[in-house]
Structure 1
Amino acid sequence: MKEATIFPGTKVKINDVDFPTLPSPDHLIIKVIVAGSNPKDWAIAERVPGINQGDDIAGIVHSVGDNVTNFRPGDRVASFHEMLTPHGCFAEYAVGLEATTFHIPPNVSFEEASTIPLAGMTAALGMYQRLGLPLPWLPAQERLPLVVYGAAGAVGAFAVKLATLSNIHPIICVAGRGIEYVESLIDRSKGDTIVDYRQGNDEVVKSFQQALNGEKLCYAFDAVSDKGSYQNLMKVMDLSKGRISLVLARKHYEGIPDSFAKFFTQVGRVHAESYPGIKGEKKLQGLLGDQDFGAVMYKFFERGLKAGWFKGHPYQVVPGGLDGVETGLQDLKAGKASAFKFVFRIEETKGLSQSKL
């Protein structure tokens, strides 16, 4: 079968490889219909080259391990592939773990479903397991300001969607070119607003202060974690009670005191509690472990998709299937994906084996 591997400089090589085998009785083999993409697909390849980095699988179950009870061959599914392990989604067939796989309802396309697994779970982990915000089934009962930085990107947009389901308002969204999309996610009648980061950091901080109306900020989800984002947030945070969730773990956050409650999402924790931690990382007590939380939230996503109260992220199909992965990742690195995700229809790849279920 065909598989794409990623190298430094956002270079992609298409290889002929063996059909995958099940890593454990808890895994599924999935025929990939649509593969989603994420910024880490090109970023991690800079230090770990030559791997099929794709982790957003949408397709049809080919076979299941002996312990798998919730899925069977022929099911339409989306799955979060275990990062840095073999058989990611940039291939004809990929491997997923039952706990991080969910059914795609008939009313949802493979393209839409492929936008959810990694980004949706990153948002959920940051919002609930790290910040400790009210869950959708135990929604907020009073005013609870939240800043979401990078609200037009997939992770930030999912954070806004989840905040709305949790009745968290006002949501103060920071965005740029994707403002029109973010506007469709918020409720102005509940105080939600949008801050345009392109006006400069000083104006962003002033906009925060105006939206907070004299309050100090206690909760921030920073889906950018760069270019002044967290420095701007710290200027309005409550230094004694505030919490900030960040998405880039391998950096020094100058301007955030060591004593301040900063948390890292590390979405790979839904696959293994032993996923490498961060020195000095803070944790909330009394919560489900990230693996159990992940399994619960993917079921929640599935139910929301079926009922229509949860949706994926806008997407743009890059032509050529696996042959288009290099172009897609180059455009992603260049910042050309604003308020949408690049996805790839695998059947468009040249020279497929045309394997059947």
Structure 2
Amino acid sequence: MASKMKALVVVEGKTAKIQDIDVPKLGQGEILVKAHYIAQNPTDWKSMLSVHPGRILGCDFAGTVQDTNGSHWREGQRIAGFVFGSSTNPPRGAFAEYVATEASLVYLIPDNVSYQDAAVIPLAFATAVQAMFGRLKLPEPSKPAKTAFPFLINGGTSSVGQYAIQLGKLAGAFVIATGSSQNHELLKSLGADAVIDYKDPSWPEQVRKLTHDGLEFAFDCIGENGTVEAVAKSLSPTKGGHIVTILAVDKIREKIENKNIKLESTIVYTVFGRPIKYGTFDNCGEPTPQDKAMWEKYLTILPELLSSGKIKPNKVRELGGFDTILTGFQEQQESKVKAEKLVYKIS
């Protein structure tokens, strides 16, 4: 095997270039994956603008096991997962020909799932799992609620939101999802019981009417520009409830009038179990073995959920190879990527 590989590396000027760098050396419990497809997340272009030069970008990948390093995996098996892109301890990045990752933090791709579809699942699916079952403590698909309970997903057409809708149905919830009107059929096809147009300023009141003022659980997959405050208005005015969002909320807490509402942010990179510094996010300053254990559990469940069709991947749009990634970043910055995920063929 070659000692060098191509990777998309951050350079001076808040941009990135394809460079030849060393293939990652494996630590204990790690495997090496030959990447065939990678998928883009908003965090990728944001990292390019904020991290120091020299870091490898990218989180989501799908490929084949190249070096088992004594693990239970076999060389050539089709697997997918995500890494903490552009991190340095240990160095990680999926926009590369080879990816090093923990052997327990990937899943076996079912025969009826393509590399493209497999690549768009890990980070977004893990975020939904963590928010719903790790933070909100909703019933899990293995033990769904016997009586349906209302659950709001704001931003249902986002990558995370689409998996949250499907997991919510498997958990026995009455799923209410917000999205623009042109995407309402998509939301229903994923299992949403009720869909609401977030562009209508009265949407929180519509949720309260729909739930008879009984909503206590909400997942905000947007988390900015006033969405958290709007979600808070949709919760039960007497009981309050629990909102989890994907962006930091320290400056928003004081704006929430209902003091019976617990507001919490979640950052998916805690699934690696290590304490991280990531802005002012909750739940990330200490070791997080419980988050890692939950993700490991769902990685063993995921193949069956996919092969049976219980979980459907996000819509895929293949843009090209390495040389088209910066174009994809630009598209996402300009809000031209909607209800879909961009993927790139690496090998």
- Tell me how many residue pairs correspond in the alignment: 332
- In the TM superposition, what are the counterparts of 1:42-81 in structure 2 within 5 Å? 42-50=45-53, 51-66=55-70, 68-69=71-72, 71-81=73-83
User: Which amino acid in 1 is paired with 2:7?
Assistant: E
Distance 1:241 1:6 in 2: 44
RMSD: 2.4
Q: Mapping of 1:9-24 within 5 angstroms?
A: 11-22=15-26, 24=27
**Which segments of structure 1 move beyond 6 Å, counting only runs of 4 or more?**
277-280
Structure 2 residue aligned with 1:94, among 93, 99, 107? 99
Q: Deviations over 1:263-286 (max 9, x none)?
A: 222111110142348869479xxx
Letter of the aligned partner of 1:114 in structure 2?
A
User: 1:223 is aligned with what amino acid?
Assistant: C
Kindly state the Cα deviation for residue 217 of structure 1 after the two structures are TM-superposed.
Answer: 1.7
Matched, 1:160 2:158: no
Gapped regions of structure 2 (runs ≥ 5): none
Does the 8 A contact of 1:273 with 1:290 survive in 2?
A: no
Structure 2 counterpart of 1:73, one-letter code? E
Q: Give the letter aligned to residue 214 of structure 2.
A: K
Q: Please report how far the alpha carbon of residue 117 of structure 1 lies from its aligned counterpart in structure 2 after TM superposition.
A: 0.9
Q: Does 1:322 align with 2:322?
A: yes
Matched residue type, 1:109? S
Q: Pick from 125, 131, 141: which aligns with 1:136?
A: 141
Structure 1: which 5+ residue stretches go unaligned?
Answer: 348-357
Contact 1:3 1:16 in 2 (8 A): yes
Retained in 1: the 8 A contact 2:163–2:311? no
Which residue of the partner structure matches residue 234 of structure 2?
Answer: 236
SS of residue paired to 1:151:
coil
Counterpart in 2 of 1:346? Answer: 346
The amino acid across from 1:326 in the alignment is L
What is the match of residue 220 of structure 1?
218
Does structure 1 retain, via aligned residues, the 8 Å contact 2:248–2:280? no
Shift of 1:245: 0.6
2:31 corresponding residue in structure 1: 28
Cα distance in structure 1, aligned partners of 2:48 and 2:179: 27
User: Are 1:148 and 2:153 an aligned pair?
Assistant: yes
Displacement of 1:25 in angstroms is: 2.0
1:173-208 alpha-carbon deviations (Å, 9 max, x no partner): 111253332121125xxxx11111223x3x212321
| Superposed displacement of residue 226, structure 1 | 1.1
User: Are residues 1:313 and 2:297 paired?
Assistant: no
Call closer, same or farther: CA 1:344–1:251 in 2, change over 3 Å.
farther
Match of 1:351 in 2: none
Aligned counterpart in structure 1 of residue 119 of structure 2, from 114, 117, 125 = 114
Deviation at residue 305 of structure 1 after TM alignment: 1.6
Query: Residue 355 of structure 1 corresponds to which residue in structure 2?
Result: none
Tell me the TM-score normalised to structure 2 length.
0.89
C-alpha distance in structure 2 between counterparts of 1:7 and 1:130, whole Å: 36
- How far apart in 2 are the matches of 1:261 and 1:334? 33
Query: Could you tell me which amino acid in structure 1 is paired with residue 41 of structure 2?
Result: N
Could you state the TM-score of these two structures normalised by the residue count of structure 1? 0.86
For residues 315 and 279 of structure 1, do their structure 2 counterparts lie closer, same or farther at Cα, with a shift above 3 Å needed? closer
Partner amino acid for 1:97?
A: E
Distance in 1, matches of 2:342 and 2:281, equals 35
SS in 1 for 2:199: helix
Residues 63-92 of structure 1 deviation map (CA, whole Å, 9 limit, x = unaligned): 0223x22x1210000012134143421111
SS at match of 2:228: helix
Q: Residues 186 and 193 of structure 1 are in contact (CA less than 8 Å); yes or no, is this contact kept in structure 2?
A: no
The answer to whether the 8 Å contact 1:8/1:47 transfers is: no
The answer as to whether partners of 2:265 and 2:281 remain within 8 angstroms in 1 is no
Instruction: Indicate if the aligned counterparts of 1:87 and 1:93 stay in contact, CA closer than 8 A.
Output: no
8 Å CA contact 2:82–2:94 kept in 1: the answer is: no
For the 8 Å contact 2:245–2:266, the answer to whether it is kept is yes
State the partner residue of 1:335.
Answer: 335
**Which amino acid in structure 2 is aligned with residue 306 of structure 1?**
S
Is this contact kept in 1: 2:247–2:265, CA < 8 A? Answer: yes
1:211 partner letter: L
Relative to structure 2, which stretch is displaced further, 301-310 or 27-36?
A: 301-310
1:265 aligns with 266
Q: 1:123 to 1:308 in 2, by over 3 A?
A: same
Q: Quick one: which amino acid aligns to residue 42 of structure 1?
A: W
- Given that 2:266 and 2:281 are in contact with CA atoms closer than 8 Å, whether structure 1 keeps it comes out as no
Residues 266 and 283 in structure 2, CA contact (< 8 A), matched pair in contact too: no
C-alpha change, 1:92 and 1:182, in structure 2 (3 Å) is same
Cα separation, 2, equivalents of 1:179 and 1:13: 39
